[in-house]
Amino acid sequence: MKPFRWLLLTVLILIAGGVAPAMEISVQTGVNTNWWDSDTNDRGSQTYVPVTIDAAQGDFSVRVLSAFVSTRIDPSDASKNSMTTAVDTKLNASYAVVGKWPVDILFGLDFNLPTGRTHLDSEEQRMLLDPDLVTISRYGEGFNVNPTITMAKQGDRWGVGVGVGYLWRGEYDFSETAMDFDPGEIFNITAEGLYAFTDAWQGRIFGEMAWYGTDELGVQDYYREGDFILAGIGVDYSQTRWEAALSTQSIFRGKSEFPADNLQLATEDRAGYGDEYLADLTVRFLMNPETTLSSRLYYLMVLKNDYDENDPSFIDEKQKISLGLSLLRQFSPQFSGRIGLEGYLLDQGRNWYHDDDRTYRGMVVDVSVTKAF
């Protein structure tokens, strides 16, 4: 029944556009395919078809996003696994108050609708892959509600914004052995400041902090994620026909809590996550009024955690470098298309997903079209 729920949401948004003729609606779909192999002879692929529907009328906007995904792995032990399913549907609504108060305000209300797959068996759990290897690493959760509020103020050369969010996550059956899984809530704060040094150069700083509630399994406390801190800086440069943006950011995670011998949660002795560092460079070139060429280069480094190498909780260093190129074409005011190609290298030590060192090589091809009504 879950795919039918997703289809019903799509139909409702389209009907809403017919009821309100002034509503602007756009639909985007396409296909994204990722192939990879490794020096340990592990291969796999993931293909997904996303569908995004955006609707706006005045200061109110709504977005519906879902996808169908097929994942296949071919490990070196000659076993094969594959799974094809719909994923959860995201429903995002927002209302903007601009130019009416001393600060501009954006109210948001986001939902995760459980149209994907949960209650995984042992073979399906093998499809839960590293999120640095695949785009879709989880296929379903429970019913989640995420209200947010963002406030922004802008001057002649500067701008600042602060956002606050609260995510309530509903209970669901994660797997055959993890029934009645109740993930904890998440509270987060984001902030960004920017300053235009000249008409061409702009700098920005940004950050985020998040605090996690306790996950429960049945009636027992199961886990609590360590606090999350992100800090970053960026610089943008723009000309008439091209622009470039460079940003760097760091992520630091606090110690998590696990059940102790008395079944009560206790903070781990050492940090289970290594610090993360990411550099991201994007360049866009306007070839003509209808065609834009873009490229993206990014580098990720995750340091090893604080556990000894002979400890089962040890996670080794990870590095990933990716280079992508895409072409966007505006065929008409209502219709556009995009094609992209990306290659990447992912060097991983021992982690939760495998107990050996691996180097992955991968390629991603994605094609999308957008139609406005």
pLDDT for position 262: 77
Residue 130, classified by CB atoms within 10 Å of its CB into exposed (0-12), middle (13-18) or buried (19+), is middle
Question: Would you place residue 1 in the very low, low, confident or very high pLDDT band (cuts 50, 70, 90)?
Answer: very low
How far is it, in rounded angstroms, from Cα 167 to Cα 210? 10
Tokens of 159: 């701008």
pLDDT for position 353: 78
Contacts (Cβ under 8 Å, ≥6 apart) of 349: 304, 315, 316, 317, 318, 357
The answer, yes or no, to whether residue 70 has pLDDT greater than 60, is: yes
pLDDT for position 352: 77
Q: How far is CA 370 from the centre of its chain?
A: 21
Dihedral angle of Cα 51, 56, 62, 67, to the nearest 10 degrees: 0
Q: How far is CA 297 from the centre of its chain?
A: 18
Tell me what the pLDDT averaged over the chain comes to: 92
Q: What angle do CA 13, 15, 16 make, to 5 degrees?
A: 65
Question: Would you place residue 356 in the very low, low, confident or very high pLDDT band (cuts 50, 70, 90)?
Answer: confident
The answer, yes or no, to whether residue 354 has pLDDT greater than 90, is: no
